[in-house]
Structure 1
Amino acid sequence: MKRFSNVRTLFFAPIVLIGLGAPAASAEQNECAGRAADIIRRAYPSATNADDGTLLFEGTTITLSKRDSVDGDPHAVICRVWPAQPQLTLIAVPLMTKQSDSENEGDIELLVVDSSNLQLRQRLRLGGLMSDDAVRVRSVAFDTARYQLAPKRTAFGLRVSLEGSSRANPFGETTLWLFAIEGDGLKPVLDNIVVGENHGEWDTVCAGEFSETTRMLSMVPSAKATVADIVVTEKTTTSVNRVGTNNDCNREDKTTIDKHRLQYGGSGYGVPKDLKRVD
């Protein structure tokens, strides 16, 4: 899967703490306002209609979201007006080359359009982001918390949540990417950081071990550059379940907290390997 000058610090707004869990898509993620078809036609003028209501574009399938609702299909187009710049609307377009009960293959293309006339401003295709197998893509959502990189420069996020199907070995993971507008293009500035994960192994009755990690991101002024640093606060809770003497199920939790500081290196933020999604 593809991932994607040293000046003294200028003024930054007060530190903003941003919590990044893994919520499912909600109605606010589908702000196409019935204009999804028009958006897609403008962005993909050579797309053709398929018999099942999808669109076909250069060997890929595009599924339109239902009007003013979220149907729970992670392969459908989603739109969101960008609160930091409401004159712009963000669109994520899954471009699927293969879809089945056992395996999917596809990319996501991000579009930024004018909210009033749907004129395309920027686009960026992310290879392989919709590909899965036993661990399935559960949801795709925009994260429009105020990621203030610098004065007059704000990023937006895209989260992809995965979920395993095994009851005995549960698994879930939400990964975040951040993007900023640069001229006529979109630039990835934070690549592939896991902001929520859980996994475990148990006998499906009681005994077993589980781990859940959440990561909170806060933008803080940098001492070395005009672009803010990101402080990641990581909370991990490990749970052990055991069968007691009376056949009751006893649980013991242990929680640890750690912090990481990510600095902007000119092309983006460096993310430690142990915070990244593993394919």
Structure 2
Amino acid sequence: MKRKILAFVFLISSFVMFGQEINSARFETIVKALKINKSQIRTEFYTEKKMPNEKDSYIVVLPIFDGQEDEGIYTVRNYLLITDEKGNIKNKYYDPEEITSDAVGLSGITIDTGLYTVSKDIRAFGIRVSFRGQSQPNPYSTEELSLFYRKNGSLKKILNRFEVYSYGGEWDTRCAGEFHETTSTIDLDKKTTANFTDLIIKTQNINRRTKLIKGDCKDFETSKTTYKTLKFSNGKYQ
């Protein structure tokens, strides 16, 4: 009996460490329904979030190993699910897109429930995937956004891995260096294409240069903002 209690406490605490707002009972129901061996799951990236616009509905991302990890290099594919509070699956989608973690490692998967009202009666949600490099003199990080909406018993992907953030550069680890940072946000246009709202992409590009001048590390920065529009065509935004 004591062993069972300790095992249960460990299960709960492990999700507190690796994720936010994780319900262990829901997780167990999902794994059982999908008939997945837990050793296949990259548990530190498992995440779930309540849908703000639907009653008793939760978005779940379940990253599954594709093959085996080799010297820290691995690939995952995501199960994307909509479940009820107990974990019973309403919508299921196995994303064929490979997510590879190598020298630039997978650092996070988060669910974005922003107001992506892409069509009449269709509110999409986002999955954000983040990567980070390990090099100190050549820092690098990026974040990609994919958009999905519910369709019948599955999910429809309408935006695939659009880069919304990137940061990189090269420096001497003391002061001198050059860096670039790009941040994109999505706004909904009033115009539509094929009955889907056009997406306005606002991108801020920042270039920084640091230089040692008379013993002080000086920072020089320039920035530029650009806009472009993504339109719905052939089943997705492009």
Question: What's the TM-score, normalizing by structure 1?
Answer: 0.74
- 2:232 maps to 264
Mapping 1:1-279, distance limit 5 Å: 30-35=20-25, 36-42=27-33, 44-45=34-35, 47-48=36-37, 55-56=38-39, 61-64=40-43, 73-74=44-45, 77-96=46-65, 97-99=67-69, 101-115=71-85, 117-244=86-213, 246-270=214-238
The amino acid that maps onto 1:104 is Y
Query: How many correspondences in the alignment?
Result: 220
Between Structure 1 and Structure 2, the one with more strand by share is 2
Opposite residue 208 of structure 1, the aligned amino acid is: G
CA deviation vs aligned residue, 1:205-232 (integer Å, no higher than 9, x gap): 1111001110010112225542111000
Deviation at residue 101 of structure 1 after TM alignment: 5.0
Unmatched runs of 5 consecutive residues or more in structure 1: 1-25, 49-54, 65-72, 271-279
Letter in 1 for 2:54: Q
Q: In 1, are the aligned partners of 2:126 and 2:148 still within 8 Å (CA)?
A: yes
Q: Unaligned regions of 5+ residues in structure 2, if any?
A: 1-15
Cα distance change of structure 1 residues 113 and 200 upon mapping to structure 2, 3 Å threshold = same
Q: Is the 8 A contact 2:188 2:198 kept in 1?
A: yes
Flag the structure with more relative contact order, 1 or 2, with Cα contacts below 8 A and sequence separation at least 6. Answer: 1
Q: Tell me if the contact between 2:194 and 2:233 (Cα under 8 Å) persists in the aligned partners.
A: no
- In 2: Cα distance, 1:240 partner to 1:224 partner: 41
Measured after TM superposition, the shift of residue 130 of structure 1 is 3.4
Counterpart amino acid of residue 23 in structure 2: A
Q: Contact 2:193–2:232 at 8 Å: present in 1 too?
A: no
Task: Please identify which structure carries the higher helix content.
Answer: 2
Residue in 1 aligned with 2:13? none
Aligned with 2:24: secondary structure? coil
TM-score when normalising by structure 2: 0.86
**Cα gap change, 1:223/1:102 in structure 2, threshold over 3 Å: closer, same or farther?**
closer
Secondary structure of 1:98's counterpart equals coil
Identity %: 23
Distance 2:215 2:21 in 1: 51
Distance 2:231 2:100 in 1: 30
CA offsets per residue over residues 230-278 of structure 1, 9 Å max, x none?
000000110011111x1211110000000011111140111xxxxxxxx
Q: Secondary structure at the match of 2:175?
A: coil
CA offset at residue 85 of structure 1? 1.8
Question: Whole-Å Cα distance in 2 between the matches of residues 207 and 183 of structure 1?
Answer: 55
Q: Deviations over 1:110-136 (max 9, x none)?
A: 111123x43212212223543211000
